Amino acid sequence: MTLSSDLKKYLISQGATEVGFANLKNIENVPEEMPNGISIIVTLSKKGVRAINTNDKKAYFNTYNETNEKLDDLALKGEKFLKSKGFKAYGLSRDRVKVDEKDKLTSIPHKTVATSAGLGWIGKCALLVTNDYGSAIRLTTILTNAPLDFGKPMTSSLCGMCLKCKDSCPANAVSGMLWRKGLNRNDFFDYKACAKTVVNMSKYNFDSSEIKICGKCIYVCPHTQRFLNE
């Protein structure tokens, strides 16, 4: 077995749903000493995703947080696994990720690593979409210098004419434009409108502006719906 298959098998045994490998050499902010990326996907629970379309918003919120915690654990376990093999590795758990507070953009987006690994494409709602799970997923990343079997990058959207997320967005943040590699998020998605609406929704649903969560675009995605109905 190769290092890639060993690592993938290990991470899946620890709770990952999908694992992909990417050459990040030409991606901005990726350190020269660790030019390769490992993208880890964990699906949100079906119960939690279905709760998006009900009055039980806390079920989705709890699922969201539990999945993020699992991803942090996987990033650090993967880092430890690679270091034990003599390679450099750095898991991008939430406490290690720097976020630009103005636009809520990270220096090395997990979605960029995932598309570079061929795990999915960016939907019209600016979330990663996968064939098998839609957007009912969360992501994390490990950077490394380990030699990996890279996937074929996704460079354009497979959303086609679908406008489910645009039609369901309470913020009117989705323009309907198809993503392609190199297109900036703000060119096709209004993050500020999304963020403002989510805060208002959270005040209503949770009596708190600290909880920022919506999920409507996740729920209505046809790929998500197929996953929920399997």
- The one-character DSSP state at 189 is B
- Of 150-154, 180-184, 199-203, the range with the lowest mean pLDDT is 199-203
Residue 74 Cα to chain centre, angstroms: 14
> What's the pLDDT tens digit per position in 67-122?
999 999 999 999 999 999 999 999 999 999 988 877 778 999 999 999 999 999 99
Q: Is the pTM of this model over 0.75?
A: yes
Q: Output the six-digit token pair for 54.
A: 């009900």
Kindly state the average pLDDT of the residues 126-147: 98
What pLDDT, on a 0 to 100 scale, did the predictor assign at position 213? 83
pLDDT of residue 10: 98
Count of domains for the chain: 1
Q: In this model, does residue 209 exceed pLDDT 70?
A: no
Q: Specify whether the CB–CB gap between 167 and 138 falls below 8 A.
A: no
Q: What is the pLDDT of residues 26-79, one digit of tens each?
A: 999 999 999 999 999 999 999 999 999 987 888 899 999 999 999 999 999 999
- The residues, any chain, with a CB within 8 Å of residue 42's CB and separated by 6 or more, are 15, 16, 17, 67, 70, 71, 74, 137, 138
Candidate from 51-60, 76-85, 185-194, 213-222 with smallest mean pLDDT = 51-60
pLDDT for 102: 75
Name which of 171, 25, 160, 7 is nearest 77 in CA terms: 7
Q: Span 155-172, mean pLDDT?
A: 97
User: Do the Cβ atoms of 2 and 37 come closer than 8 Å?
Assistant: no
Distance CA 226, CA 230 (A): 6
Domain range for 13: 3-228
pLDDT band at 216 (very low <50, low <70, confident <90, very high): very high
Per-residue burial over 160-170, b = 16 or more CB atoms within 10 Å of its CB, e = otherwise = eebebbbebbe
Pairing of strands 105-106, 18-23: unpaired
Mean pLDDT for 138-165 is 98
